[in-house]
Chain A
C-alpha cells in the first residue's frame, strides 16, 4: 500500500524528518506516536501533499506510484485521505456540495459517471446516521461554527463517503471529549477492511484504546526510534517518551 524509504524532509533549511522508513500493507493500522515537535504532523502533511516542505532524500511509494510527485487532489482521488488535526472552516461552501464535488472527482478520475443525485443522498444520509450527526450538518457551510467534536466527526463523515484506501488521521483525538471520541472511533472501526489501511498520528495513547493498532511506531527527532505492537503504546503511556529520547541520545 505505502512504502516510505529513507525519507528526509526540510522546512526551509531546517531538517524535520531525517530518514523515515515505513511499510504499510493493506488492512493494517499503524499508529505514529511521539512527543511534540518530533515530526508527526510533518509526516502526515508530506503524505497528503501540503506545500511548504522540501523532500531532500528518499521516497514514498503508494500503490506502486511515486506519491510525492502527485498534486494533493490527485493523491486524494487515488485514495489518500487526510483527516485534519484542525479542519478548516469554509464559509459559503456547503458540506453536501463539497462531498458531491469530491465524490464526483474521484469517480471521474476512475472513468466513472457522476453519481446519481438520489443515490448520493441515500449514501450520505446513511453515513450521517452512522456518525450520529444531524442531517442539518449537510446543508451548513463546511465546518463553519462547528464545535471541535463536530469538526472531527465531519472529517470521518467525509472519509466514510469517499472510501479512501489510505487514511491518515492527524491527531484526530485532540480536542475530543470521551463521547465524541467513542463516536469517531466507532466510525473509523466501521471503515476497517482488508484493503484499507490507516496511519494514526497521535500524541496520546487514549485513541488506541478505541482503535486497536497493528503496529506502533515512536517518532522522535525526525526518526522512528522504536516500533512494536499495540503493547508499545501502553509502555509509552506508562513511561512517557523521555526514555526513548534518552536512549537515542546515548546510542
Chain B
C-alpha cells in the first residue's frame, strides 16, 4: 500500500519506466524494480524515523513534482553558467538532470580518465560492466525513501573513473542546473578512484528561481591508498527542495575529504555516509547558512569498520531569521576497529531569536581501545568580541557582520582550489549584508 505522499509517483512510474536510462542492462532493470517496490512500501521518510526526526518532508504530500523532461533552456547560456562553472576545471553539465554536451567542457581529459554521462555509459557494454556493483553498491535501496525514489527514477548523472596511480591535474566539476518549475530531477553519480589515484571533484547544484525537487545520489569508491576530495556547493534556488546523498566506500589506506557548502534551497537534506577500511581517513567539513525560512539538515555517518581509521568532522552553521539548521552526526566504531581516532564537532551561530539549531552527535563504540571525541555548541556572537572591534573604530553592525563572516569563513578558507574558493566566497558574501565586509581587503 503506497503512502499518500508517494502514491502519485508510484502510479505514474509505469508511464516513464520505459524511457529511463539503462533499458538494455538487466541488472539495472532489476534494481529499478526493487527500488519502486521499496518506495511503494515506504514512501518518503517520515519524522517518526529517528534519522528524520528534525526534518519534515510532508510538503511532498501536498505538492506533486512532475518528472523533469529533457529540454533546452534559452536562459542557460555560457554567460549564465559563468557564475558556477569553474574555468580551470573539466566540467560536465546536467540540465534538469540530463547531460548537456553543449555546456560541458571535457576536452583533453588525461588518458584513461572517464568523465561521462551515466546514461551514455549504460549504453556501452564496457562501461556498463564498470557500473555493475557500483550503482547501489555504496548505498542500499532501503537507506531512505529518497534513495529508493532516486533508484527508481534517475534519468542520468555522471560516471567518473580515475585509473590507478593517476593524479588528475585539474579538478572535475559536475554542475547540476534546474530550469523547470514544479519538476522532480533525479540524478545518480558514480565516482571510482582506483588505487593510488588522486582527484579533486566538485558537485554544484544551482537553478533558476523556481520551485523544484532535486534528488541526487552520489556513490564514491575510493580505492586503496587513493585520495579523493569532493566539494559540494549547494546553491539551489530559494524555493527548491534538495535531497543529496553522498555514500562512500573507502578501501584500505584510502583518504576521502568532503566539503559541504549548503547555502541554497528552502528544504534541504544532505547525507554524507562513509565506510572506512583499515587505516583509512576521512574529513567531513560543512558550512550551512540559513536565512528566512530555510531548513537545512546535515546527516553524517562514519562507519569505522577496521583498525587505525581516522575521521574528522567539523560542521558549522549560521542561522538567521526563522531558519533552522540540523546536524546529526553518527560515528560507529566496530568491535574490530581498534585504535580508531575520531573527532566530531558542530558549531552553530544563531543570529535571531527565531532561528533554531538542532544538533545530535552520536558515538557508538564497540571497540575498547579508541580515541573518540565530540563537541557541539549553539550560541550567539560574543559581546566581548563586539566591544573589542568597536573600540577599534568598527561600528556595532559591521562588527557583528565581521564576526559572523569570520565564523563562516573558516570553512571557506579550507578550500584550496583558488577559483572554487573565490566562487564559494562570493556566494557566502551575497548571503551576508554587504556593508562592512570589504572583499578586497580579505
Contact = CB atoms under 8 A, between A and B. Distances in A.
Interface of A: 48-51, 71-73, 75-77, 81-82, 84, 87-88, 90-94, 96-98, 100-103, 105-106, 109, 141, 158, 162
A73 B396 contact: yes
B294 to A, nearest CB: 22
A93 B406 contact: yes
Query: DSSP class of A's interface residues: helix, strand, loop or mixed?
Result: helix
21 contacts: A71-B395, A71-B396, A72-B391, A73-B391, A73-B394, A76-B393, A81-B391, A82-B391, A90-B389, A90-B403, A90-B406, A92-B403, A92-B407, A92-B409, A97-B441, A101-B394, A102-B394, A105-B394, A106-B393, A141-B406, A162-B392
Interface string B400-442: 0011011101100000000000000000000000000010011
A106 B393 CA distance: 7
A98 B391 contact: no
Given A76-B392, A162-B393, A92 B406 contact: yes
The 10 closest A-B pairs by CB, nearest first: A92-B406, A105-B393, A72-B390, A88-B388, A76-B393, A102-B393, A102-B392, A73-B390, A93-B406, A73-B395
B23 interface: no
B387 A97 contact: no
Contacts of A96: 441
A84 B388 contact: yes
A98 B389 contact: yes
Interface residues of B, number: 25
A97 B407 CA distance: 15
A146 B252 CA distance: 39
Contacts of B382: 88
B348 to A, nearest CB: 15
A101 B406 contact: no
A87 B388 contact: yes
Nearest to B410: A92
A88 B385 contact: yes
Given A88-B384, A90-B403, A92-B410, A71 B390 contact: yes
Interface in B363-398: 382-385, 387-396, 398
Given A76-B392, A93-B403, A101-B398, 15 more contacts: A51-B387, A73-B391, A77-B393, A87-B388, A88-B385, A88-B387, A88-B388, A90-B389, A90-B403, A92-B405, A92-B407, A92-B409, A93-B406, A97-B442, A105-B393
